[in-house]
Amino acid sequence: MEKLKYVGQSSVRIDGKEKVSGAALFTDDLEFGPDLLYAEIVEGPHAHAMINSIDTSEAENIPEVLCVVTGKDFPYNFGLYMKDRFIFAQDRVRFFGEQIAAVVARTPEAAKKAAKLVRVNYSPLPKVLSPVDAVKKDADLIHPDLKHYEHVPWFFPKPDSNIAHHRKIRKGDVEKGFAEADYVLDDTYEVPRYAHCAIEYHAAVAKYDHSGRLTVWASSQSPHTQRNLFASALAPMGITHNDVRVIAPHVGGGFGSKAGVTMEIIAAAIATKVKGHPVKVLWNREREFYNTYQRLGVTANLKVGVKKDGRITALHHELYWDAGAYVEYGANVVNAVGLSAIGPYRVDNASIDSYCVYTNLPPGGPYRGFGYSEFLFGLESHMERIARHLGIDPVEIRRRNAIKAGDLTAYGARMNPNGLQQAIDAVEKEIRWEKKLVSKDPDIAIGKGFSLFWKAPAMPPNTSSSCFLKFNEDASVNLLVSGMDIGQGFLTVMAQIAAEVLSVPVFKIRTENPDTDRNPYEWQTVASHVTWGCGNAVKLAAVDARNQILALVSRTHYFPVETLFLEDEQVKCMTRPDFSLPLKDFVIAGIQMEDGTFKGGPIIGRGVFMPEYASTKANPETSQGGHPNVHYTVGAAAAIIEIDRRTGKVKVKKIVEAVDCGKAINPDLVKGQITGGILQGISTVLYEEMKFDHRAKMLNPNFTDYKIPTSLDLPDEVVPIIIEVPEPDGPYGARGMGEHTMIPVAPMIANAIEDALGIRIRSMPITSEKICLAILDRQKND
Amino acid sequence: MKKISFSLNGEQRFVYITPNEILLDVLRYKMGTKSPKCGCDTGDCGACTILLNGKAVRSCLIFAVEVESQDIVTLEGISRDGLTPLQKALIEHNAFQCGYCAPGMILSATELINSNPHPGEEEIKEAISGNLCRCTGYQPVIDAIKHATKKH
């Protein structure tokens, strides 16, 4: 085992000082000078309607208005995985609040005033609001052009329907599996939509200058993907990738909402109509809720068969996703779940049907967990219920079925090495699972709940990361990567990896959020893949730099290269303990020879990583044959809760969560993800709830009416546990864990509620009202 | 336009405003003071928290015209003479993730510490309960404040 100096240490964040001093600048903090223009959006007041005409004349006459743009100015489709989205609505609106037009003016006030004067004439259409209705034969079509949309080869849209994608798994013999079962549980679970609630709004400023350069400053998880989508969408205007530059300042929270492209393309497009001026598009809290992405809702029919000992014989999971008006990104959530909805279990006979269904609700898209929180609410509720029915301990039934390294996943690839059993054992011990807790207060019920979790990065098979590494005169280092620090501590972890290879202290490594002109390619900061993917690229770049350093010293000092190594910012030699050469003496200047000449020059490393074994090529009827997921990260969690029987109010007393991150490059940051992710999970199950009116207008797009937790809503105790079973192709064995931490929370709280009160709630959120009604319902039936 | 003057981070400043301008916007867009952030515009999130005459208030709920002759401190003012023990503790605890809520959170905690140098955990939670954070789960922030204010 190699001895590590920087990797595995809880270093302080390299951006810590910037963030606590007020120095950190976010997109809307940047200055663009007195020529800055402001855009205001005109929103459609129908969930589904044809646009007959748009009259912009009155708006154009407002003083200080430069122009009004509509869908006619940009008749282009765009999208990450399926090109079903438009910069502005074309002939129809598909969700309440969709952008129809924009006014560009010298002041925000003038833009707002003029936006109210854009007259749009609509013919309302019947709206389709639930995925179950949308798949009915006579349902109104939301995208009649579905069959013409470009999409990735692993999507299977059904033409002339509202089904944008159907991911199908057929593994083993499901009928036989159910026939062999001693017990079959068949039920339906409902998980509604949720909002990300990053505290910073989406913001984008774009400038199309007189030389034809399009620069976009955006609060973004995906600078390179944005460049790619802007250039592709605006290609008919003659704009190329070479013309587009995306600069990403600090990001005030993402959680998936700032991945891909949403409102940023509005700024990019508008800029082309006001050449030479920077133009700002700033979202507000309301639009954060209804016009970026929302987490998809799902109705999941789940049937699991087991033997008397709890071993799973067959599983059928049918998921109808409320994917919203545009699914260019959200359809991949549906795909990811389709591949993984057996959960972290060994299931020899499985069938899964995951349907991506268009509805006239805001676009569904990536949200921390990427669909796994949603399907595991049902599956982990189900496992608990099966255990109770069979009289098996709920932890034991999970242990018996837990997937092991080498087992076949639902799509037939081998499961990666993992510490699921260790996680189960560690959580069981820490929560003292065997100890039944009883409250002295008769009005308080105490319950314990357990849940497993797993998640794989959902990425195209050719997703790649890259890194440039350059030394400075003092042997400090600049690390150029294009992953984003969206708060998770990515940049600190990259610095630790480079520090380890180069034996340079972490504080001497500077790495910042990217500019696509200067920093090398990264797909996106999503899927919990950057510690693994970009970490590999950084490690390779550092090794490249180290090799150059050692080769140079070997050449100038005549030591065999294999005897040289780096230690404490110096080159040393195994066979010559008296030799040491400080890096700062030569990493820029080179090494002077006896004849006065210099050898070497600036040390610059490069690293590129792509998982060359990944493939989405498989039989579409069974999904067997490919290797779509690079690996899964697994873990276990348990909760102790108290419920007041009179009010239904749940108080979370203790949560224990163990996650196998392969190697914690920075244990403190791993724990930070656990603490934060658990509270976000608690929030989805106990507090957050979207309300829509009869027009499908969201009624509570604000923090007064859509509650997220404050410092007064914390669990009494959170115990994070780190498990480290190395990922064979991860940097120092690391794999991602950022999203995973919130995934087990909703089902384990539901399970704890059943343990406390004997009631099973199969829909989220589990509000006090729902608990009280369930208690009353049971009393009525008793 | 009306001219108002007030003390901003220890410096006497003046600015021309209309009576309906919000203090947060005036600080950010007219005076270049960018640490107060906007996260809701309705007083729910606390990202725009500043100290007005030593009290933590939400600058999105105050008209700029109201602060004539008063004393305003933002995070820039707190950091001017080097980091405070609270800021140092926040760094050591990796207390923030995205950092967007940090300016408001730090000013709420600063007000607490100024009036109550050794607060208990419940007092800390109460003091920052008006500052929403979606990343951290609050505990690392609370731990850092506790650490910075413990009795030696």
pLDDT at A710 over 60: yes
A393 and A504 co-located in one domain: no
Distance from CA of A282 to the nearest CA of B (A): 11
B49 and B94 co-located in one domain: no
Mean pLDDT of chain B: 97
Domain that holds residue B13: 2-74
Interatomic CA distance for residues B8 and B64, integer angstroms: 12
pLDDT at A507 over 60: yes
Identify the burial level of B115 via C-beta atoms within 10 angstroms of its C-beta, where 0-12 means exposed, 13-18 middle and 19 or more buried: exposed
A585 and A667 co-located in one domain: no
A21 and A36 co-located in one domain: no
Q: Residue A487 and residue B34: Cβ atoms within 8 Å?
A: no
pLDDT for residue A9: 98
pLDDT at A132 over 80: yes
Q: How confident is the model at residue A688 (pLDDT cuts 50, 70, 90)?
A: very high
Q: What is the pLDDT of residues A269-286, one digit of tens each?
A: 999 999 999 999 999 999
Whether the CB of A21 is below 8 Å from some CB of chain B: the reply is yes
pLDDT for residue B36: 98
CATH code where residue A488 lies: 3.30.365
Could you tell me if residue A414 is inside a domain? yes
Q: How many domains does chain A have?
A: 3
Q: Which residue of A has its CA nearest to B34?
A: A29
A2 and A67 co-located in one domain: no
* Pairing, β A570-573 against β A77-78: unpaired
pLDDT at A229 over 60: yes
Whether the CB of B87 is below 8 Å from some CB of chain A: the reply is yes
Pair A445, A643: CB distance under 8 Å: yes
Query: Average pLDDT of A514-528?
Result: 98
SS3 content of chain B, % helix, strand, coil (to 5): 40, 20, 45
Whether the CB of A672 is below 8 Å from some CB of chain B: the reply is yes
The minimal CB distance from B137 to the residues A22, A486, A679 is found for A679
pLDDT for residue A781: 83
Domain final residue, candidates A241, A261, A282: A282
CATH code where residue B14 lies: 3.10.20.30
Q: What is the pLDDT of residues B1-33, one digit of tens each?
A: 999 999 999 999 999 999 999 999 999 999 999
Whether the CB of A669 is below 8 Å from some CB of chain B: the reply is yes
Query: Average pLDDT of A465-490?
Result: 98
Pair B108, B44: CB distance under 8 Å: no
A681 and A694 co-located in one domain: yes
The minimal CB distance from A703 to the residues B40, B101, B139 is found for B40
Query: Average pLDDT of A742-757?
Result: 98
CATH code where residue A76 lies: 3.90.1170.50
Q: How confident is the model at residue A413 (pLDDT cuts 50, 70, 90)?
A: very high
A110 and A37 co-located in one domain: yes
A95 and A212 co-located in one domain: yes
A604 and A646 co-located in one domain: no
pLDDT for residue A375: 98
* Pairing, β A203-208 against β A214-218: antiparallel
pLDDT for residue A571: 98
B102 and B68 co-located in one domain: no
Residue in B95, B92, B51, B58 with CA at minimum distance from that of residue B73:
B51
The minimal CB distance from B34 to the residues A25, A252, A254 is found for A25
CATH code where residue A644 lies: 3.30.365.10
Q: What is the pLDDT of residues A613-670, one digit of tens each?
A: 999 999 999 999 999 999 999 999 999 999 999 999 999 999 999 999 999 999 999 9
Could you tell me if residue A623 is inside a domain? no
pLDDT at A492 over 90: yes
Q: What is the pLDDT of residues A524-544, one digit of tens each?
A: 999 999 999 999 999 999 999
Q: What is the pLDDT of residues B103-133, one digit of tens each?
A: 999 999 999 999 999 999 999 999 999 999 9
Domain final residue, candidates A282, A309, A331: A282
First to last CA, chain B: 52
Residue in A669, A634, A281 with CA at minimum distance from that of residue A424:
A634
Q: Residue A199 and residue B132: Cβ atoms within 8 Å?
A: yes
pLDDT at A449 over 90: yes
* Phi, psi dihedrals of residue B36, rounded to the nearest 5°: -70, 130
B102 and B48 co-located in one domain: no
Query: Average pLDDT of A700-715?
Result: 98
Interatomic CA distance for residues A586 and A673, integer angstroms: 40
Q: How confident is the model at residue B152 (pLDDT cuts 50, 70, 90)?
A: confident
Q: Which chain B residues are within 8 Å of A675, Cβ to Cβ?
A: 136-137, 139-140
Q: How many domains does chain B have?
A: 2
Residue A277 has what DSSP assignment? S
Q: Residue B130 and residue A15: Cβ atoms within 8 Å?
A: no
CATH code where residue B135 lies: 1.10.150.120
- What are the residues whose beta carbons fall under 8 Å from the beta carbon of A209, sequence distance 6 or more? A215, A275, A276
Domain final residue, candidates A555, A576, A609: A609
pLDDT at A2 over 90: no
Pair A730, A532: CB distance under 8 Å: yes
Whether the CB of A16 is below 8 Å from some CB of chain B: the reply is yes
Query: Average pLDDT of A12-36?
Result: 98
B89 and B108 co-located in one domain: yes
Angle, in degrees to the nearest 10, between helices A394-401 and A372-390: 120
Domain final residue, candidates B42, B74, B106: B74
A230 and A94 co-located in one domain: yes
B45 and B59 co-located in one domain: yes
Whether the CB of A246 is below 8 Å from some CB of chain B: the reply is no
Q: What is the pLDDT of residues B61-77, one digit of tens each?
A: 999 999 999 999 999 99
A670 and A757 co-located in one domain: yes
Domain final residue, candidates B74, B92, B112: B74
Distance from CA of B53 to the nearest CA of A (A): 20
Q: Which chain A residues are within 8 Å of B137, Cβ to Cβ?
A: 675-680, 714, 718
B59 and B87 co-located in one domain: no
Domain that holds residue A655: 372-459+632-781
A101 and A19 co-located in one domain: no
Q: Which helix (H) or strand (E) holds B58?
A: strand B55-58
The minimal CB distance from A200 to the residues B39, B42, B106 is found for B39
Dihedral of alpha carbons A216, A221, A224, A225, sign: negative
- Residue A483: what residue type? G
Distance from CA of A457 to the nearest CA of B (A): 20
Domain final residue, candidates B23, B52, B74: B74
Pair A272, A241: CB distance under 8 Å: no
pLDDT for residue A757: 97
* Pairing, β A477-480 against β A509-510: parallel
A665 and A597 co-located in one domain: no
Interatomic CA distance for residues A118 and A58, integer angstroms: 7
pLDDT at A1 over 70: no
Interface A:B, Cβ pairs < 8 A: 158
Pair A750, A377: CB distance under 8 Å: yes
Interatomic CA distance for residues A43 and A287, integer angstroms: 10
Query: Average pLDDT of A83-95?
Result: 98
B123 and B69 co-located in one domain: no
Residue in A249, A203, A202, A242 with CA at minimum distance from that of residue A18:
A249
pLDDT for residue A363: 98
pLDDT for residue B151: 84
Task: Give, in order, the Cα–Cα distances in Å from A730 to each of A461, A463, A580, A660, A770.
Answer: 16, 15, 32, 13, 44
B40 and B58 co-located in one domain: yes
